[in-house]
Amino acid sequence: MSGEKRKLAEQEGEALPPRPKGKHKKDKPWDNDSINHWEIQGFSKDDNPSGLLEESSFAILFPKYREKYLREIWPVVTKSLKENGIGCELNLVEGSMTVKTTRKTWDPFVIVKARDLLKLLARSVPAPQALKILQDDMQCDIIKIAGLVRNKELFVKRRQRLLGPNGATLKALELLTECYVLVQGNTVAAMGPYKGLKQVRRVVEDCIHNIHPIYHIKTLMIKRELAKDPALADENWDRFLPKFKKKNVKRRKPAKISKKAEYTPFPPPQQPSKVDLQLESGEYFMSQEQKSKRAHQAESARKLDKAVANKTKRAAAFVAPEDDKSAAPAVKSATQPADAQPIAVSLKQKAQKAAKAKADFKAPAQVKAYLA
């Protein structure tokens, strides 16, 4: 039922049939399986013979260290842009590159391609590789990775993980996605088809978020093999893809665990101020002379206590140590062991014999005469 008939029926009070749901959801002629939505439609000079009406321009800044290289390759860049009807300018004073449309420009999208060319040149992409962006089937994506991690050391470590040993991980990613990838500073520049750029962005962002690129590379390799089989074109590939579980690594317990105080809704009591302490001690009502006298007395008492402590410490070095009775040598017992008695008797006899021999000794007459 049309809108006018429905209004007349409402005025007459007739019962209205329910509105059909999803009436606008019809099959679109451009939305079917026979159309490849990833295909890039070509655009030639015959499609826009009259050119553009307005001038568009873009300016891109470049770092100081790229100045020498840009001066060398600028004639090649100018020649390539001139073939597409784009004018360019290199300003070394301001450190900028500018591209703009001219009267000979017939492609309205080529100015965006020229802007992307300047972005790639400013990010250390070689000129022969960057000039490929002017092709219809080549796109670029600048992925900013600096703000994904706060810690600088973690950022450098994960960025190096994206490159891999001797650039092996990056090379594998380029082969699987059919894209050119360059890691430079805080950004990652990628060039290739739309489908590959989407995969590169996902791998790069997950790598900075601590997901190793090898997991994505394994998945891409399996998908590449499955795409070769036409029998699996309309099937779900989830059963073939690997499922990686995240391991929860136990955190190291801190040596000292501080206990949190019990929560109370009331604020802590206010600490007394300096004036409150002076009022409590009576110092607030003293004159300046009394305050200085009191401070002098306190300083004198402190010095006296310190002098007494130092004197006691020096005198402690001259105090004689107390005798330790427990360490006194043991008194020899009167009784000797049985084994020592024969030895003592023999020694005593030898001593007596030596004394008797000395008494009986008679010196010769010559000796006596010499002594006389």
d(Cα 47, Cα 80) in Å, to the nearest integer?
21
Q: Do both 173 and 224 map to the same domain?
A: yes
pLDDT tens digit sequence for 172-220: 999 999 999 999 989 999 999 999 999 999 999 999 998 899 999 999 9
Domain boundary among 83, 106, 136: 136
Reading the block at residue 303, the tokens are: 């010095």
The closest alpha carbon to 237, from 257, 256, 221, belongs to 221
Q: Is 6:16 a contact under the CB 8 Å cutoff?
A: yes
d(Cα 136, Cα 316) in Å, to the nearest integer?
97
pTM for the whole thing? 0.58
Q: How many CB atoms lie within 10 A of CB 236?
A: 8
Domain boundary among 86, 103, 136: 136
Q: How confident is the model at residue 364 (pLDDT cuts 50, 70, 90)?
A: low
Q: How many CB atoms lie within 10 A of CB 197?
A: 20
Q: Which pLDDT belongs to residue 159?
A: 93
Report long-range pairs for 86-92 (Cβ below 8 Å, ≥24 apart).
Answer: 86/110, 86/111, 86/114, 88/114, 92/67
Q: Do both 153 and 233 map to the same domain?
A: yes
Q: Is 197:203 a contact under the CB 8 Å cutoff?
A: no
Residue 14 located in a structural domain: no
Q: Do both 158 and 234 map to the same domain?
A: yes
Of 217 and 351, more confident: 217
Q: Which pLDDT belongs to residue 359?
A: 65
Residue 149 located in a structural domain: yes
Q: Find the helix or strand (DSSP H, E) in which 314 lies.
A: helix 288-315
- Tell me the CA distances in angstroms from 247 to 17, 48, 162, 211, 213, one per residue in order: 59, 58, 21, 12, 16
Of 353 and 127, more confident: 127
Q: Do both 88 and 127 map to the same domain?
A: yes
Give me Rg for the CA atoms of the chain.
Answer: 51
Q: Is 162:207 a contact under the CB 8 Å cutoff?
A: yes
Q: Which pLDDT belongs to residue 76?
A: 95
Residue 46 located in a structural domain: yes
Residue 365 located in a structural domain: no
Residue 167, classed as helix, strand or coil, is helix
Q: How confident is the model at residue 116 (pLDDT cuts 50, 70, 90)?
A: very high
d(Cα 91, Cα 333) in Å, to the nearest integer?
113
Residue 140, classed as helix, strand or coil, is strand
Residue 224 located in a structural domain: yes
pLDDT tens digit sequence for 139-149: 999 999 988 99
How many domains are there within the chain? 2
Report helix angle 152-163 to 194-208, nearest 10.
140
pLDDT tens digit sequence for 256-306: 888 888 888 888 889 999 999 988 888 888 888 988 998 899 999 999 999
Domain boundary among 218, 246, 274: 246
Q: Is 134:110 a contact under the CB 8 Å cutoff?
A: yes
On average, the pLDDT of the chain sits at 84
Residue 183, classed as helix, strand or coil, is strand
d(Cα 207, Cα 215) in Å, to the nearest integer?
10
Q: How confident is the model at residue 346 (pLDDT cuts 50, 70, 90)?
A: confident
Reading the block at residue 135, the tokens are: 């092709």
Domain residues for the domain of 157 are: 137-246
> In this model, does residue 372 exceed pLDDT 70?
no
Q: Which pLDDT belongs to residue 366?
A: 56
- Mean pLDDT (whole number) for 78-102: 93
Q: Is 48:108 a contact under the CB 8 Å cutoff?
A: yes
Strand partners, 89: 98
- Least-confidence region, from 59-63, 126-130, 150-154, 227-231: 227-231
